Structure 1
């Protein structure tokens, strides 16, 4: 056999699958057999001084093409950078450079095994090509390769097969070369047999050359379009393939490979595994959102957070259902295997956040007091995008861990005595002037249902940024709803006539779109400020649709 060990000197691998645009952010992992064969040929011309492929090089490549390799994958995670490229006349174009992060440790080795029996000359050439291989994929993907018999033990196998090896795997399509004999038969079928040339008569002086027939001209075009053999197909430049109109390189085929679902996780691999070693309860994840590249930097608005979180929640539930009869993850649905609601609020909250861009959702914090199970973590790492009517939003899993792990990046999980609304609070029950269904009573009940301490002061935001006590809310609210409540004579503690509830919260979506029948009892959006006797650790989300972001609060500055 021939076995190659590839190390990534910069810790990352950059390559785009065939047929995908670089700005789609897709990563070809592992490298396709087609890419490996072309890389070996390029190394021969660039580093070994070839002017033509030697005979042992031709036989080596044909031998590798006939046997799809087996990969041995190290742990890897996804990442990307964004930058602007200078182009003609000072215009710029944004480029999305997605990559697989492998690291530079002892276990950060990609193994590739071909089950072939090479000759001595072929093995010697293969070792020379591996020694001089300098990059794989895009130019910034620097590698060092060597022929070896031993690989690290913890690498995960990835094989070509038409059948899944078992649960926990996902299918990926990799481009590979055809067998040389298969390509020869394929070319004969497409081009056809060449017609035998008729014996030429001696040219007479002044006679015109015979005209070519239509059939002979078409045959000549086909003969030029299809490379002469497999090696010629592998040596074709991409620009030539595009010029000739090829959507897939001639001499190639799609192979079905099966890799572990977390082989290219979107979470930082080392941080996640360290959390497992510590035995910590993974209850929090952070997602980063990016816009559809065709629409520039358009991100969802925070005022539309309820709809975006509903759609994202539905996508997570779909991906957490493995089709094994167990259904989706209960920590995402809030229901058990019999579709009965779980008690309490232990299932996941999806809280939209503006960490980098004000008034736009650029991150989503996912927190479940009952911890995130395996199906939920798989869903968080596999959902890549979600669609709403006006845009497509791309998702990257930043990390999974405990809420304390995200304290520096996300204010929602910090500890504070004073908390303010980021998204409006919508009362979960009909409002009353006093008692358990008053505004203060409902807020205290919401805190108790989440195992949070009672607030010593509850205030409601007014226009201009000031706040009034929750006990004054009824009179302010009655001005907007004169037919619903009876306004009593004003007395001490009643707000002044010029005071009114903050109107900025009216622009926030406060009714679920995917389940409009679950409307809030009171369509009133309020900004709150809560003060606790001691610092309380978040996240805090209260009221109607709080699991979809409404009622989200952050520590006051």
Structure 2
């Protein structure tokens, strides 16, 4: 039966030097070689799903090497960067060549006849864990295609015809890929001892130019495979991406990182910057033109109404090394970043401006500085906060405390009550929650209400999750939270918008105990989309020595 595998590259680049060429020849591999693809599957098996049985994986690979795949190659162009690598003597110029393609373009491997009745689930699992293909810069999303029109194939094994060009592609030999041909005693035998797993250094020791167990096959690809494409008319609706990412993770760098108490203003600054990049990437062509709108990034509908489902972006600054300063930013949207334009805006977030005295800027000041930085094209200015995008993925792809599972969750930032006390009417609050002296009790009461609403939202999701009723919701000792035991009053709790009343709301630090482990993120209360009301798993207490 036919089998089709799709690879897409959210960063829009495929970095891989073709076998038999030096990196400075600037000749990227295209199409991606089956030999590289098989090695990537084995790497995923050994690094991410080592519990898989060797016979299962070997059976899948054995089927894939029996025949040579054909390809559907999307429109692409060549690109490269030049930079200097440090060496013992002097810096050496290196060319980093890559294939540039659309963020949502798919490269399809297509086998016409593969018997994977027992191994299709294994292959699907390996593909789901493939985070990059080629060099580490080549982020990818891989999946099995349930349907594929073979008429779309444009790169086949064989001689080139008119309008095609011949290219050598490294494939696996069906008979020797899983043998071991190396004799040099200095070479460390891999596990399992397959020729497929040999390293470049092993080839050098044996003075071989090609990996044993491989063979070269001539493919015919379109002669205009790298011809620049004429930009077509932009569609009114945004392009959707093949895999839905829900998380973007950034590492922060600055001469002085912001304090944890500045979580909310940093989150507000990040949201403003992302939306500014989104607008700059899609300028209006005329007064009547309506630019694409992102509900996931903004939290508002096209009519500027607030989303009530709370599945849009949470901007969550965190201190993950316990020094009291924010070192990471996580942008999480349960609805996912489904459009390539949203991913482009997240990728453009490399710098957050600050004022002359490291004060927090207003929205129009942020956008003005970002526009100036983009016009200069000189990289991020030295002042402000520098951000490094360390990953795009889903919650299960990251090890941040935000996404762990735990039975006990504690406040990392203050919970702010999502409403004020009701002193009259049919739904007025009990007297034990009214008055300034009962503000903390009222905050706990509202937190319990918000937990119930959160549990109901989880049940009504497209993929329902049953969150158990908590056993208890209690105050943290001394109402202090985090590694530096800050009180709620030490946090900045108001946004830079007219009439914001975050600082006037009841607040507190809490411990939530569930009867069983619950997975995060857990963000509740007022301004929870801006870093307030974050809960993290409670760290086990160290026994006294």
Sort the TM-score into its range (normalised by shorter chain).
0.3 to 0.5
TM-score if structure 1 supplies the norm length? 0.38
> Normalising to structure 2: TM-score of the pair?
0.39
